[in-house]
Amino acid sequence: MGATHFSGPLYVAGMPTIGSPIDLFTTGNIFFVDSGTGANVNDGKTTDTPFATIDYAVGQCTANNGDTIIVFPGHVETVSAAAGLDLDVAGITILGVGKGNDRPQINFTTAIGADCDVDATDITVKNVRFTGGFDALTGPLDVNAARFRLIDCEYADVTGQCTDFLLAVDADDMLIDGLVYKGAAAAGTNAAIALDSSDRVIVRNVIMDGNFAVAGIDFRTAASTDAQIYNARFRTRNAADIFVKDTITASTGMVGPNLYLRLQDNAANITESITGATFVVVDPVYVVNLAGEKAMLINWTESTDV
């Protein structure tokens, strides 16, 4: 199988360099997407002939071929229905170009069930902004396949609050790395991440701020085993005051180290910011529950050397 090598900055006629230089080596195809200059009648193979949508580009990919979709800064993908964006080709990578709010955006609108489905294995999404443009979205990122990777992405409520952002069912070996979650201050959200029957999930290097009625990360419906959750900063604006909750009471995993948790008020129980008797906790896990106070180490029961 031949290899495709794209190296250097991206250029579009009449525009300055887009984002940082890219050095991409792949055995698969490289497609480009831009809602500003693109059209789905193009071949999508150069920066001058991009496709208009990620969804169309996915359909041009070959499963398990190492295909990559490079999405331009300023691109907006509007998702207005269930499976409005369907990532259903195994092994593809979607790579956003740009920084901050210039990164490509996937905006969910029109219906509470509007979502991006991840229905094939080994898919990676990197450097993309997800925005909630409709109130009470029930799970705009819906992961139902193994080894999904969400890298350096952001979610932000824009209109109202999503009920849950990422719903993972049977999503074994998923990696969430570098997610920034910007939830609305008002009530309406249950969880940023909901895990259902998804084993060996890793959540790391995340920042979460929202009004979480259940928890920032909620284990629900069926047990998920051997999760790893570490390197996180978390703030909840809800009196539930919980970062991780095992609703099932049979999920397992290691929580910590390097967690910094801010609860809503000093009525909160420090210990219960991580709830689940079958988890283990590794310090440092610092918890603060009132402005003007200093965080304390979580006061779970310490292991003993018998």
Residue ranges and CATH numbers for the domains of the chain are: 4-297 (2.160.20)
Q: Which residues contact 3 (CB under 8 A, 6 or more apart)?
A: 25, 26, 27
Per residue in 113-136, pLDDT (tens digit) is 999 999 999 999 999 999 999 999
Alpha-carbon distance of 201 to 111, in angstroms, equals: 29
Q: What percent of the chain has pLDDT over 90?
A: 86
Burial of 111 (0-12, 13-18, 19+ CB in 10 A): middle
- Residue 17 pLDDT > 70: no
Alpha-carbon distance of 10 to 22, in angstroms, equals: 8
Alpha-carbon distance of 243 to 233, in angstroms, equals: 10
Position 25 scores a pLDDT of 66
Per residue in 148-157, pLDDT (tens digit) is 999 999 999 9
Average pLDDT over residues 255-267: 94
Position 213 scores a pLDDT of 97
pLDDT-based confidence at 203, cuts 50/70/90?
very high
H-type alpha helices, the chain:
54-59
Q: Which two tokens stand for residue 182?
A: 């910007």
Task: Label residues 168-184 b or e (16+ Cβ within 10 Å = b).
Answer: bbebbbbbbbbbbbbbb
Least confident of 1-15, 67-81, 96-110: 1-15
Per residue in 274-296, pLDDT (tens digit) is 998 899 999 999 999 988 999 99
Which of helix, strand or coil describes residue 35?
Answer: coil
Contact indicator for 284, 259 with CB cutoff of 8 Å: yes
Per residue in 160-176, pLDDT (tens digit) is 999 999 999 999 999 99
Position 268 scores a pLDDT of 74
Tell how far CA 45 is from the center of its chain: 27
- Residue 187 pLDDT > 90: yes
Bond prior to 73 in cis (omega within 30° of 0): no
